[in-house]
Chain A
Amino acid sequence: MRTFNFAAEGEKINPLIPHTAELVVGAIAFTLLFLVLRKAVVPMFEKAFAARTEAIEGGIKKAEQAQLDAQRALAQYNEQLSSAQGEAARLRDEARVQGAAILEELRTKAQDEANRITAAAHASIEAERQQAVTSLRNEVGALAVELASKIVGEALDDQARQSRIVERFIEDLEKSK
């Protein structure tokens, strides 16, 4: 090892022989730098790298999650749509059936009403006819009596007798018919 008695002019120095001081200084300086970098630099850069990786991977994961959610929502909507369509078709069929039933019921009701009205009309016609027959019979009787009395010249005032004669007369008429 060479110390610091500097070479005189012309004396050759072997550059491969180190200074003791430089060995010591080199070791100390390098160790110092190593400690500083290991303590304060490497962990910080590693932290930054990790955070960056985390951020990128987190972003990708988030995007994937969003896509998954969207797909699930789409499937759900499609399902709801198809079920709604089925429901609508069912309702339409039901309405058609119900409409037909209502129509049928109304038709039956109308028919009944018509029958009822027809029957009532028949009854009333019959009654009126009966009435007409009765009144006609009375009138015809009176006329006939009048006619007869005129013919016979004899007033048959007695109402009861009159009636009897008319009844008999009409019955004869009917019988002879």
Chain B
Amino acid sequence: MINLHFSGEGFVPPSTNDFNLPPIFENIAWLTKPVLLVFLSVILVSLFFVISARKAAVVPSKLQFAGESIYAFVRNDLARDVIGHDFMRFVPYLFTLFTFVLTNNIFGIVPFLQFPAMSHVGFPYVLALFSFFVFHYVGIRKQGLGKYLKDIAFMPGVPKAVYILLTPIEIATFFLVRPLTLSLRLFANMFAGHLLLLVFIMGGEYMLHDSHLIMKIFAPFSFTFGIALTFFEFMVQCLQAYIFTLLTALYIAGALADEH
């Protein structure tokens, strides 16, 4: 899948082209590896949580406890602590967001899958768009369209002269910066992380195949560093899933609050 970049002319570093994988079947253009991985994540996450939640026992089994712990983390530490009162409405959305992003991120270091679907910007765009609609919808429902927009454009409790500066910033923040940063943060982290792993693993491979002995000797260092970075990537993948969900919760909380 990833064409190895060693030819006679020396090492060709991995580039953005390495993320553009060809279709799995020649004649089904849309069915690429990330698309497959995204569907796989839906199946895996659904199966895991449906099976672990099926009994809903007071004394949980190990499986139920595992599923419950993740759910409780999103429910209590993200939804309840950030949104507060009336948080239960948003738990299903935040829970889906967290598990979906987390699973697709972790696919980046799962052997044989080894591709973070979120490094394809289309998926983070969609998720950020959903979050964008959710928090604006919540704010409009809560405060009415007019008051909601007015509070965004003209933040209450600010001297009038400041509006010249503040109003464009606030409008840009709410309608452009938030969805963009939400999606690009996730995308860039996954993209860069995967690229980093590619550099060290493919670099090691290149060095191993090189005719010089010195290069062969140093190849294991490159692989070792690649493995160390894999652990680091795991941390980043979890963190990004957490941040995406946390920020969405914060935006919802902000839209629900009476004053921004």
Whether B16 lies near A44 (C-beta < 8 A) is no
> Quick one: closest B residue to A4, CB to CB?
B29
Whether A41 lies near B126 (C-beta < 8 A) is no
Whether B41 lies near A29 (C-beta < 8 A) is yes
List of B residues within 8 angstroms of A23 by Cβ: 122, 125-126
Residue B96 CB within 8 A of the other chain = yes
| Bound: A45/B68 CA distance, A | 7
List of A residues within 8 angstroms of B46 by Cβ: 32-33, 36-37
List of B residues within 8 angstroms of A41 by Cβ: 49-50, 53, 67, 71, 95
Whether A18 lies near B23 (C-beta < 8 A) is no
CB-defined interface of A1-24 with B at 8 Å, one 1/0 digit per residue?
Answer: 001101100011111111111110
List of B residues within 8 angstroms of A33 by Cβ: 41-42, 45-46, 96, 99-100
Q: How far is the CB of B41 from chain A (nearest CB, A)?
A: 7
Name A25's contact: one of B17, B29, B35, B187 (CB within 8 Å).
B35
| Bound: A23/B129 CA distance, A | 10
Interface size on A, residues (CB 8 A): 40
Interface size on B, residues (CB 8 A): 51
Residue B232 CB within 8 A of the other chain = no
| Bound: A6/B3 CA distance, A | 14
Whether A42 lies near B122 (C-beta < 8 A) is no
Name A42's contact: one of B15, B38, B42, B92 (CB within 8 Å).
B92
> Quick one: closest B residue to A52, CB to CB?
B58
Residue B130 CB within 8 A of the other chain = yes
> Quick one: closest A residue to B46, CB to CB?
A36
Residue A77 CB within 8 A of the other chain = no
Q: Which of A6, A33, A36 has the most CB atoms of chain B within a 10 A radius of its CB? A: A33
Whether A26 lies near B45 (C-beta < 8 A) is no
Whether A6 lies near B22 (C-beta < 8 A) is yes
List of B residues within 8 angstroms of A48 by Cβ: 53, 56-58, 60, 64, 68
Enumerate chain A interface residues (CB-CB to B < 8 A).
3-4, 6-7, 11-23, 25-27, 29-30, 32-34, 36-38, 40-42, 44-49, 51-52, 55
Q: Could you jot down 27 A-B contacts, CB within 8 Å?
A: A4-B29, A7-B17, A13-B16, A13-B17, A13-B20, A14-B16, A15-B187, A20-B122, A22-B126, A23-B126, A26-B123, A29-B39, A30-B100, A33-B96, A34-B93, A37-B49, A41-B50, A41-B53, A41-B71, A42-B92, A44-B53, A45-B53, A45-B56, A48-B56, A48-B57, A48-B58, A51-B58
Question: What are the 10 closest A-B residue pairs judged by CB atoms, nearest first?
Answer: A22-B122, A18-B122, A21-B30, A26-B126, A44-B53, A38-B92, A48-B56, A4-B29, A26-B123, A34-B96
Enumerate chain B interface residues (CB-CB to A < 8 A).
15-17, 19-20, 22-23, 29-30, 32, 34-35, 38-39, 41-42, 45-46, 49-50, 53-54, 56-58, 60, 64, 67-68, 71-72, 75, 88, 91-93, 95-96, 99-100, 120-123, 125-127, 130, 184, 187, 191
